[in-house]
Structure 1
């Protein structure tokens, strides 16, 4: 968040206006056509009022004459103003304290310079990194009214006023959902059709995001689709509520605005406004948890904050006078940096994930935002980079990805990854005319050990068995845990089927070696069933079932042994449920 940037650079200079006697329906038509959320009312060249999308909810939508009333009867007057030299931080405070969405920006003479909105302010405070760390669930509104599609517009507007919300969800007879917003009501006012029911007016279908999606993803949906409301669904697809663009902005901004307000209150009696901004900027620079690096136009480092030192390990005197290239990890090529500089030149800012190197030599990921700073002549005088170390977040993402395909206890591939690798192994064997062996392994007498000595001992036993299985096969083979005390193994690229019994016997012998766990001497064995591709089947699922049947026969035959699948086993185990 940049404390010394003023609102002048984000003001919208092209304003929409109308005369005081303009009918509301005409004003609404112009707002819809211009995709504008407000219209200024001007009388003899002077701005006398403002009418916004939010004001439309105050109308009696059931009375056709309401839409023909002059805008002067429903406008807000006078229009609240803000000086174009106001900093973004102070502007954010004023929006929150005065509870408005629009300010008229004026200069020293009081001349109108344009309109600035609350959304404009927040979008220029660098919130993208924070959005990527939080989920939609954090700002979910579960108390959104649901109305039937046959409801009249007047009743719908009444519901929106009573619930103090700018949108309601419309439920259609087929169970689908739509959404009716202030902007939709504005569109109907412009069309002068007060009798229309909400089912005809609502936007349909309701665009949704998952409740566990990131706020950054939701913000991207808002921007890409030019909407301000999204439905939120649970894991089962059920509609849980709504999330709005303003909900996201308010949530992320809250802590920042609170800190800024307290800082300004402490100093407002002793400092001039300009000094307040200067000291606040210094405080933010020094105390923020994000690293900040400021360079000149030639990209020579001029200053860094304490968080820069904490993250990179470099002290200020070690980097001042150098270029940020000294932090390069070597993972990005010249094309990557050229695209970065090109975007900076065109847009004045760049943001994204980048890998840099600490003073210790460790390479780490960071989320970096770079902004250009220009003087009054439009010349670049500085580049300001703000970055956060996202090592922990990346590690958490990698861990989640690992757990999605691996067993949490042993770290072995789980059922999903095992099946994927088996299909791949069968395809490879088909092309190369080789053999694939599938082993289904069950730990003998595991339940008595687990029940007698406890689950803690049982878990360690399974971990030891897993280690012994991995040690008994080649690195290219796959050992997986399907659950409980069941393991599977894929032996790939076998040229001679005669080699498989040797591996199976090695597994039986290795697992049966005594083990000592938490002071207990434990000896366990395994029963192994085997099936071969393409001898027993050419389909992965059949190979698993056949190996499971063979394992059952091995266990039935006395355990601590292995059996190959034979066709007559299907009859012998026909009454036993077979694992997939």
Structure 2
């Protein structure tokens, strides 16, 4: 890794700018001609805003009038700035944390000195050795939207905006691929071409690299071809996803953190680090995204890094001289901290999840690693804590846990959770001598609606049906989606069997009410089949099969109705395969 030079050496001093009343199409033409990813908006010598390739996704690409609007209506203001003296490591951290691609570099007086981009950071970090050791698959993004070549530009931009991505892969009828990026959309805005489809507008063919290629090779492709996206293919030529300049930047940060940990291990054995290691430790200390806190043997804070301030909100002068106890959330008792100190004393390190409090009072989870640093006599002279805010990770874990048991479209319990609850309901009813009703519900004529109006309308219809089903039963009951247009309901703890047909009719009536979706007035109905525990069966799987058969008979009898399972349906159950 190179020494942490300032961004002054890589900043672009020639700034592309325009007046506030400049039409977007004219601004786009100038950006394309200058091969520039941003344009600054200047009014009477003052920079008041910035418009970038990413901002073009916010436009209504289907309306040519949009391109004639003044840039002042669509610019981002104020412009984010960074000191011209900032190091590359600090800049990399700012780009990552603030999720932007451009900073306006300013001097101590606030005067504009140029533009620095995320791409500049990747090209000037001096980490070729690290990139050569890492392969593309380590940073591969497999969740890139794929769209058909006949899609309109407006729909494509909408897809990119919803997916929060700067590129989409275009699939052609012959199976080949192209790519549409923010830069392509910018070029089309400048040319005022909103009507064409993405197949005509995308760059084709999609330039690719192998999934086992090195990141150094990928970066070389980026720089030599002047592109920011590469397709990634597997051994069989299948397109697996995309890799971008941003992925390279994330990889650089990963290597910084790894090198920091190695350096801290060496400090445990010796305080006499070489000057090279000291410079590296300082660079990583300042640039890593993980917070670092160093205390003396008495646990008095001696130093913290910029990421500490980013995560906790406390500046260095506010915590130096204090103890880490000032960060305590109050969620852990004295026993928790005593075990931590005992393990530190016995093993020289501690690692685990801990809840702390930010300066604004917000309590958050972090993953904390503490190491002791000893001198040549074996005495503890420092404690070094390295921590990461895991709020997003925990939220993602909770979301993954939710999706494992719920339908992604409607948020209802899925088949697995439905079966688990049904088994529980049957066991509970057996112990308490109560009745359980199982409903199998199918949306009538869903396929014609879905095929005629489109899948997005069909999806919203299913979501509306799900909401109406939930509103028709008690909070303690279970409404689930098995898949497609099939729903199931468990009614537990039924005291009066006569209440079941009332609920069934309520569902039929509620769902059949007209609904308006994206300008379409739609009326749909449902066919409902019911089975009862223990009248029809004492086994959960049989209750589902019987309810499904009853639903089939309801649909066969004219739809928009409910039917209870009867014994004479059993032969039909045996002849017709159903989901269980």
Superposed CA deviations along residues 173-203 of structure 1, whole A, max 9, x for unmatched, are 9999999999999999999999999999999
1:99: Cα distance to partner?
A: 39
**Secondary structure, aligned partner of 1:268:** helix
Contact 1:122 1:249 (8 Å CA) reproduced? yes
Superposed CA deviations along residues 300-319 of structure 1, whole A, max 9, x for unmatched, are 22221110010111112222
1:496: Cα distance to partner?
A: 1.6
**Worse-superposed segment, 206-215 or 382-391:** 206-215
Show the counterpart of 2:312: 312
**Worse-superposed segment, 114-123 or 183-192:** 183-192
Q: Kindly tell me: are residues 362 and 180 of structure 1, through their superposed partners in 2, closer, same or farther at Cα, counting changes over 3 Å?
A: closer
1:544: Cα distance to partner?
A: 0.2
Larger radius of gyration: 1
Q: Kindly tell me: are residues 35 and 341 of structure 1, through their superposed partners in 2, closer, same or farther at Cα, counting changes over 3 Å?
A: farther
Superposed CA deviations along residues 316-348 of structure 1, whole A, max 9, x for unmatched, are 222223222222233333222221111001011
Q: Tell me the distance in 1 between the aligned counterparts of 2:47 and 2:456.
A: 76
1:577: Cα distance to partner?
A: 2.9
Show the counterpart of 2:542: 542
Q: Does 1:276 align with 2:276?
A: yes
**Secondary structure, aligned partner of 1:568:** helix
1:141: Cα distance to partner?
A: 21
Q: Tell me the distance in 1 between the aligned counterparts of 2:442 and 2:11.
A: 70
1:503: Cα distance to partner?
A: 1.3
What's the TM-score, normalizing by structure 1? Answer: 0.55
> When the two structures are aligned, how many residues end up with a matched partner?
580
1:219: Cα distance to partner?
A: 29
**Secondary structure, aligned partner of 1:426:** helix
Q: Kindly tell me: are residues 453 and 310 of structure 1, through their superposed partners in 2, closer, same or farther at Cα, counting changes over 3 Å?
A: same
Q: Tell me the distance in 2 between the aligned counterparts of 1:193 and 1:444.
A: 42
What's the TM-score, normalizing by structure 2? Answer: 0.55
Q: Kindly tell me: are residues 335 and 120 of structure 1, through their superposed partners in 2, closer, same or farther at Cα, counting changes over 3 Å?
A: farther
1:116: Cα distance to partner?
A: 43
**Worse-superposed segment, 37-46 or 428-437:** 37-46
Q: Kindly tell me: are residues 154 and 270 of structure 1, through their superposed partners in 2, closer, same or farther at Cα, counting changes over 3 Å?
A: farther
1:254: Cα distance to partner?
A: 9.5
Q: Kindly tell me: are residues 470 and 2 of structure 1, through their superposed partners in 2, closer, same or farther at Cα, counting changes over 3 Å?
A: farther
Matches within 5 A, 1:216-295: 255-256=255-256, 274-295=274-295
Q: Tell me the distance in 2 between the aligned counterparts of 1:77 and 1:523.
A: 46
**Secondary structure, aligned partner of 1:27:** helix
Contact 2:93 2:289 (8 Å CA) reproduced? no
Show the counterpart of 2:165: 165
1:368: Cα distance to partner?
A: 0.9
Contact 1:480 1:489 (8 Å CA) reproduced? yes
1:490: Cα distance to partner?
A: 0.7
Q: Tell me the distance in 2 between the aligned counterparts of 1:123 and 1:75.
A: 27
Q: Kindly tell me: are residues 471 and 428 of structure 1, through their superposed partners in 2, closer, same or farther at Cα, counting changes over 3 Å?
A: same
Q: Tell me the distance in 2 between the aligned counterparts of 1:313 and 1:199.
A: 47
Contact 1:418 1:480 (8 Å CA) reproduced? yes
Superposed CA deviations along residues 51-109 of structure 1, whole A, max 9, x for unmatched, are 99999999999999999999999999999999999999999999999999999999999
**Secondary structure, aligned partner of 1:249:** helix
1:282: Cα distance to partner?
A: 2.4
**Worse-superposed segment, 264-273 or 93-102:** 93-102
Q: Kindly tell me: are residues 288 and 467 of structure 1, through their superposed partners in 2, closer, same or farther at Cα, counting changes over 3 Å?
A: same
Q: Kindly tell me: are residues 550 and 162 of structure 1, through their superposed partners in 2, closer, same or farther at Cα, counting changes over 3 Å?
A: closer
Q: Tell me the distance in 2 between the aligned counterparts of 1:286 and 1:476.
A: 53
1:510: Cα distance to partner?
A: 1.0
Q: Kindly tell me: are residues 94 and 398 of structure 1, through their superposed partners in 2, closer, same or farther at Cα, counting changes over 3 Å?
A: closer
Superposed CA deviations along residues 219-247 of structure 1, whole A, max 9, x for unmatched, are 99999999999999999999999999999
Q: Tell me the distance in 2 between the aligned counterparts of 1:150 and 1:509.
A: 40
Show the counterpart of 2:303: 303
**Worse-superposed segment, 333-342 or 464-473:** 333-342
Contact 1:129 1:367 (8 Å CA) reproduced? no
Contact 1:2 1:88 (8 Å CA) reproduced? no
Q: Kindly tell me: are residues 127 and 452 of structure 1, through their superposed partners in 2, closer, same or farther at Cα, counting changes over 3 Å?
A: same
Superposed CA deviations along residues 499-538 of structure 1, whole A, max 9, x for unmatched, are 1112111111111111100000111111111111111111
Q: Tell me the distance in 2 between the aligned counterparts of 1:497 and 1:305.
A: 67
**Secondary structure, aligned partner of 2:475:** coil
Q: Tell me the distance in 1 between the aligned counterparts of 2:197 and 2:461.
A: 67
Q: Kindly tell me: are residues 519 and 344 of structure 1, through their superposed partners in 2, closer, same or farther at Cα, counting changes over 3 Å?
A: same
Q: Tell me the distance in 2 between the aligned counterparts of 1:193 and 1:447.
A: 35
Q: Kindly tell me: are residues 498 and 310 of structure 1, through their superposed partners in 2, closer, same or farther at Cα, counting changes over 3 Å?
A: same
1:484: Cα distance to partner?
A: 0.6
Contact 2:311 2:389 (8 Å CA) reproduced? yes
Q: Kindly tell me: are residues 501 and 41 of structure 1, through their superposed partners in 2, closer, same or farther at Cα, counting changes over 3 Å?
A: closer
Q: Kindly tell me: are residues 385 and 182 of structure 1, through their superposed partners in 2, closer, same or farther at Cα, counting changes over 3 Å?
A: same
Structure 2: 5+ residue runs without aligned partners? Answer: none
Q: Kindly tell me: are residues 196 and 516 of structure 1, through their superposed partners in 2, closer, same or farther at Cα, counting changes over 3 Å?
A: closer
**Worse-superposed segment, 528-537 or 127-136:** 127-136
**Worse-superposed segment, 122-131 or 418-427:** 122-131
**Worse-superposed segment, 125-134 or 276-285:** 125-134
**Worse-superposed segment, 197-206 or 121-130:** 197-206
**Worse-superposed segment, 213-222 or 327-336:** 213-222
**Secondary structure, aligned partner of 2:480:** strand
**Worse-superposed segment, 549-558 or 7-16:** 7-16
Contact 1:179 1:204 (8 Å CA) reproduced? yes
Q: Kindly tell me: are residues 200 and 376 of structure 1, through their superposed partners in 2, closer, same or farther at Cα, counting changes over 3 Å?
A: farther
Q: Tell me the distance in 1 between the aligned counterparts of 2:301 and 2:234.
A: 47
**Secondary structure, aligned partner of 1:573:** helix
**Secondary structure, aligned partner of 1:8:** helix
Show the counterpart of 1:149: 149
**Worse-superposed segment, 32-41 or 306-315:** 32-41
Q: What value does the CA root-mean-square deviation take over the aligned residues?
A: 19.4
Q: Tell me the distance in 1 between the aligned counterparts of 2:522 and 2:63.
A: 85
